[in-house]
Amino acid sequence: MVTLHRGPNWKIAVYAGDHGVPHFHIEGPGFRASVAIAMLEVIVGSVPRRVLVAALTWALAHQGELQAKWEELNP
C-alpha cells in the first residue's frame, strides 16, 4: 500500500496486487471506499460527504499520478 495523500483524519492509498478496475482507496476511522480513477466514481463503500469532496478534488488534480501508481503496483 502506498499512501499518496493525507487529509485531516483520512488518506488516499493505492494497493499492490489489487483487482478490478484501476482505483484508489479513501480511508479514515470508520469508513473506506474504492474510487475508480478514470471516472472518479465510488465503486464500493462510502465516506462522509466532506471527505469525499476533498478527496475527489485532490484526485482530479492528480489522476495521472494515481493511474501511474496503479500501473506500477498492479502490472
User: What b/e readout covers 23-39, taking b as 16+ CB neighbours within 10 angstroms?
Assistant: bbbbbbeeeebbbebee
Range of the domain at 14: 2-73
Answer for the pair 74, 22: CB distance below 8 angstroms, yes or no: yes
Angle, helices 63-73 vs 49-61, to 10°: value is 90
3-state secondary structure 33-50: EEEECCCCEEEEEECCHH
> How many domains would you assign to the chain?
1
27-65: per-residue pLDDT in tens? 999 999 999 999 999 999 999 999 999 999 999 999 999
Per-residue pLDDT, 22: 98
Per-residue pLDDT, 4: 97
Name the pTM for this structure: 0.94
